[in-house]
Amino acid sequence: MESLGIYFLLLAAVIAGWILGRLTAVGGAHKARHSKDIFEDYFVGLNYLLNDEPDEAIDTFIKALEINSDTIETHLALGALLRRRGKVDKAIKVHQSLLARPGLDKSFSDSTRLQLAIDYISAGLLDRAERLLNEVLSEDSASKWDALRHLITIYQTEKEWEKAISCSKLLLTNSTYKRESELRAAAAHYCCELAERLLDEGHDNKAREQIKRAFGFVRGNVRASLILARIEQRLGNFKSAIKNLIMVRTNNPEFVSQVLGPLAECYEQLQNLPEFEKLLTNSLPEEPDVSVVLALSDLVKSREGDEAAIEFLNDYLMKKPSLIGLVELLRLQIPKAGTEVSSNLNLLQQMVNNLLRKKPAYQCNHCGYESRSLYWLCPSCQKWDKIKPIVDASVS
């Protein structure tokens, strides 16, 4: 059973409701009969619970509890429980019938609308949820902050980035949320999404404005820095691109594999590959990442030829065995081997490649989700910035 504690809390609420009914029923025969009905329903509900039939138990409790100011919170809890058990239609009915009650206290009306909006989100009825939440937001009550949180979820799902940014900005004006790092990270990514869209449409300068906005939420955000480097590179500002890429590598060494490609391109454009080699060689002792080694091996190869690259890779692999490094070594050695040895090495290269294809390159450090591609938003736990490259994933 999902949460025994919740059911027994609900039972306690039903019992309390029944006792209250008894107390208020002292003066009237009709009320006394009514409290007797509740008492019977309570036992029916309890029976369902004991028989491990929680859905029927919840239905009975809802029927047993008359809606009044003493029981609304219990109804809200039962509605939320129904939703969590996947009975969204029933949860919607419970919350709608609560809302339909005339003279519902303002704070309960807000809580009910929020719960109904969550039901709608769970059912995929996002436009209805959005309408309801905007209604709560426009009334400027204490519930508007919760409404904003749910609106952000909707706009993120619908990829309405500008609206998601507006809601995030408003939520961040509240001192409770001001320093919430996940909220700020999400807002920075909404700006990055807009920047990438603008880049695809060829609006480089407008994309740069979005990156500035992203840095307003999180200074030095990795994705924003990578996009900014891409913009600078596209505009031919190679030195500025290099500066941004080096900043990513310095502040987030686990992302070094993401910056090496564009760094090599920028240094090549500046015809300054020796400077790139110096940068990599200097960083190798502190970042013995295989991607750095492969980039260096490429540079050695183009400067001194295959033999020098083979020697360089051999040296590295002796210190730190790596499957990716081995594949590169085989690639360099196969053309130099005799026919028979070369076919054996080919087979070995194929086997290692197959092994590598099955290995994940990225992992979410929140839920453990693994993938071959980099996702900024984890598809599993829906958190931003939690997926990171697995440093030297190939070492075995």
What are 362's strand-pairing partners?
A: 371, 389
Q: How far apart are CA 222 and CA 190, in angstroms?
A: 14
Residues in Cβ contact with 379 at an 8 Å cutoff, skipping those fewer than 6 apart: 369, 371
Give the total of residues touching Zn ion (CB under 5 A).
7
Q: How far is the CB of 153 from Zn ion (least distance, A)?
A: 16
Nearer to Zn ion, 108 or 375 (CB): 375
Q: How far apart are CA 167 and CA 155, in angstroms?
A: 9
When asked if residue 366 is in the footprint of Zn ion (CB under 5 A), the reply is: yes
Nearer to Zn ion, 177 or 376 (CB): 376
Q: How far apart are CA 206 and CA 272, in angstroms?
A: 30
Which of these segments, 28-36, 106-114, 254-262, 358-366, binds Zn ion (CB under 5 A)? 358-366
Positive/negative CA dihedral, 125, 126, 127, 129: positive
When asked if residue 388 is in the footprint of Zn ion (CB under 5 A), the reply is: no
Tell me which of 217, 255, 276, 369 binds Zn ion, using CB under 5 A: 369
Q: How far is CA 337 from the centre of its chain?
A: 48
Residues in Cβ contact with 315 at an 8 Å cutoff, skipping those fewer than 6 apart: none
- Of residues 145, 76, 148, the one with CA closest to residue 115: 76
When asked if residue 377 is in the footprint of Zn ion (CB under 5 A), the reply is: no
When asked if residue 367 is in the footprint of Zn ion (CB under 5 A), the reply is: yes
When asked if residue 364 is in the footprint of Zn ion (CB under 5 A), the reply is: yes
When asked if residue 267 is in the footprint of Zn ion (CB under 5 A), the reply is: no
Positive/negative CA dihedral, 142, 144, 150, 156: negative
Nearer to Zn ion, 186 or 364 (CB): 364
- Of residues 69, 74, 134, 138, the one with CA closest to residue 102: 69
When asked if residue 378 is in the footprint of Zn ion (CB under 5 A), the reply is: yes
Tell me which of 372, 381, 395, 396 binds Zn ion, using CB under 5 A: 381
When asked if residue 342 is in the footprint of Zn ion (CB under 5 A), the reply is: no
Q: How far is the CB of 365 from Zn ion (least distance, A)?
A: 8
Nearer to Zn ion, 35 or 363 (CB): 363
Nearer to Zn ion, 23 or 381 (CB): 381
| Contact set with Zn ion (CB under 5 A) | 364, 366-367, 369, 378, 380-381
